[in-house]
Structure 1
Amino acid sequence: YMYIYIYNFFRGLLACDLTPDHHPKKIEHSAVTILIWTHPFGRFRKLPDCYVRYQIGGCTLTDDRRAYTQADALIIHHREVATGTDELPPEPRPCAQKWIWMNYESPAHTARLGYFEGVFNLTMSYRTDSDIFLPYGYLIPRERAPLRGPTRSHLLRPRLVAWVISNWSESHARVAFYYQLRRYIQVDVFGRAGRPLPEDSGGGSVVRLVGRYLFYLALENSQHTDYITEKLWNAVLAGAVPVVLGPSRQNYERFLPPEAFIHVDDFPTVRALARYLLMLRRNPARLRRHLTWRGGYSVHQPAFWVEHYCTACRAVSRTRGRTGVVKDLTRWFHS
């Protein structure tokens, strides 16, 4: 399965180790300095110690722009330079310095890509074909603390379908889908467009909330290759079966077993999908088929943006001396 490949890819190539407990031995590589040129969305965060967090030695992270001439690489978050709230670093850049384009928005919400053709040396995103690949989440096969398998109480959860949404737009396909689905079954909506979330509105509270439901609508704001966000992984952690709208089923199967989710495209109509969900509620044996896979995996959700910086540091260390240029950034990201 592709998701096993993804896990091995992280361990052996670009991604940083998941926790110090997973890999207690220090990773030897050459020391590098990474300058965080733009803090994502203008939110300043304390920079991590990559050795303490992920056992990656020789990694110095800084956001002090006075280190520009000494930095081996710069991480530049797309949103800030695209909107004009910040500018690209001055040219000419230091010899062999890498500029890393980092972006975790979908192409539909990534403006002005054409302004940055031939500017960057590495890409970092959720796409599997990025130079530095780190998705919103992934499965880890047969770890010491696998996901909890289905229990009787799990299969008999009293609430049917939940949806948490903060960015409501009538132009989104997911909103049109919701309007159709609610004609046939009850959907409990939370967030700005529905009921308020618990006071602790972080990911943990969403998981606890979704844990009361059999199904969760993991509906992306746009449909693009590999654009599978925390919505899916929150559902998996909560033990709810995700009903997904995003890229194709084949794309989702890069990250999950085929029975781990229900894709809206599997049904000829929204009404047929609603009937299937109601059937599963009445038939726990059939519902169990969507959940039994869980015993063989645990889930890892990278910490934004701590793990991303350390992942980039490791990648730069392993590619020292090689400085290519990202050509056709727009065509690649929209492909």
Structure 2
Amino acid sequence: MRSTSPIILFYTSYFGKPVDIAAIPECGSPVEWTNDRRRLSEATAVVFHLPDFREIADARKYGGQDWVAWSMESRRNYPLMADPRFMRHFDITMTYETGSDVWAPYLPPHAFWQKARASPIARKTETALAVHFQSSKFDDSRRGALVAELSHHVGVDRYGRHQPNRHVEGPDLGRQTKLEIISRYPFCLALENSIAPDYVTEKMFDPLAAGTVPVYLGAPNAARFVPENSYIDAASFGSPAQLAAYLRHLVETPAEYQAYFAWRDRPLPERLADWITQSEVAPTCRLAALVHRRLAERQPGLSRRSSLPFGPLPFLRARLRRWRKG
């Protein structure tokens, strides 16, 4: 027997793989989650993962149905997110941007910050001053040029699939191993793949968890997402040479270096603590609550006639592409 709860359909894949419905947590606002496209006409809301935009054009939109634009990727890497002609087809946004209808930031939960405070700062045993992890080739931020130039002035050990000069020794336990490696360096290059407001990812937070100072390149408002004086803003230096000189100065002046860890002994800023509390409720649960509210406000008797928002030709192309994939 089918549920009488609102149906939320994940129409697209998530980077080519089906959305894992079983992993969605239980919410206070009951909904039925599905990724069965055959149920499109029944769905109260339909979620589209924007990086998989090629799968969107063959969707019909039914009267009274909400379409959700979902992405955790920078709008710099996916310009459709900034295209009003494309975005006008969506009723709800669910992204990392603070202005989204359902805000889905990369902010770690309160438990992360408590554990970071309680963990001792490891001895910095590596010869190189900085470590950098990178696997993706995306480089809208020009992080590659920064790493290359900085490496002329200070030692930088590079891990990951993109141009590494060091490799994990022994078993690789994923994030645990990554944090253990980071903890051995005074600095970690935390370089986003693009620069966009609010786009502050785990690259900033992993060094804080490891007891290392992030050297950050990314969101111009990154300071809103972390405690005061907890990171170094690479963009505030006139050149990589000046940044390198400052890193050397900090290592030679322990008191100034240690000042970057003073946040561990202070309460989180109230605004940041409020954001963390808000984001600890799963985005899917907040989406479910919003769908319930919008459904309650909807006028009864709306026509369920469908339309092709992107037009017949894109519809046919998308169907053909899906047929070729089997």
Normalising by structure 2, report the TM-score. Answer: 0.75
In structure 2, what is the equivalent of residue 33 of structure 1? 7
In structure 2, what is the equivalent of residue 229 of structure 1? 201
Unpaired runs of 5+ in structure 1? 1-29, 324-335
In structure 1, what is the equivalent of residue 50 of structure 2? 78
Alpha-carbon separation, structure 2, partners of 1:144 and 1:138:
8
Alpha-carbon separation, structure 2, partners of 1:61 and 1:235:
35
Q: Does structure 2 retain, via aligned residues, the 8 Å contact 1:99–1:122?
A: yes
Instruction: Read off the aligned partner of 2:124 and give its amino acid letter.
Output: R
Could you tell me how far 1:150 is from its partner in structure 2? 7.3
Q: Does structure 2 retain, via aligned residues, the 8 Å contact 1:41–1:80?
A: yes
Alpha-carbon separation, structure 2, partners of 1:118 and 1:55:
28
- Residues 214/44 of structure 1: CA separation in 2 closer, same or farther (3 Å cut): same
Alpha-carbon separation, structure 1, partners of 2:167 and 2:59:
42
Out of 277, 286, 291, which is 1:316 matched to? 291
Could you tell me how far 1:54 is from its partner in structure 2? 5.4
Q: Report the RMSD for the aligned CA atoms in angstroms.
A: 3.2
Instruction: Read off the aligned partner of 2:34 and give its amino acid letter.
Output: T
Out of 117, 135, 157, which is 2:124 matched to? 157
Instruction: Read off the aligned partner of 1:173 and give its amino acid letter.
Output: R
In structure 2, what is the equivalent of residue 96 of structure 1? 64
- Residues 221/69 of structure 1: CA separation in 2 closer, same or farther (3 Å cut): same
Q: Taking every aligned residue pair, what percent have the same amino acid on both sides?
A: 28
Structure 1 or 2, whichever has the larger Rg, is 2
In structure 2, what is the equivalent of residue 263 of structure 1? 233
Could you tell me how far 1:122 is from its partner in structure 2? 0.8
Alpha-carbon separation, structure 1, partners of 2:139 and 2:99:
31
Q: Does structure 2 retain, via aligned residues, the 8 Å contact 1:146–1:294?
A: no
Unpaired runs of 5+ in structure 2? 299-326
Could you tell me how far 1:131 is from its partner in structure 2? 1.1
Where does 1:1-335 land on structure 2 (aligned, <5 Å)? 31-48=5-22, 50=24, 53=25, 55-81=27-53, 84-91=54-61, 93=62, 95-113=63-81, 114=83, 116-138=86-108, 140=110, 145-148=114-117, 151=120, 154=122, 156-159=123-126, 160-168=129-137, 172-192=141-161, 193-194=163-164, 195-197=166-168, 200=172, 202-248=174-220, 251-295=221-265, 296=267, 307-321=282-296
Query: Which is further off, 60-69 or 165-174?
Result: 165-174
Q: Does structure 1 retain, via aligned residues, the 8 Å contact 2:200–2:218?
A: yes
Alpha-carbon separation, structure 2, partners of 1:307 and 1:170:
29
Could you tell me how far 1:207 is from its partner in structure 2? 2.2
Alpha-carbon separation, structure 2, partners of 1:136 and 1:144:
13
What is the DSSP-based 3-state SS (H/G/I as helix, E as strand, rest coil) of the residue aligned with 2:188? strand
Alpha-carbon separation, structure 2, partners of 1:77 and 1:234:
26
Q: Does structure 1 retain, via aligned residues, the 8 Å contact 2:194–2:218?
A: yes
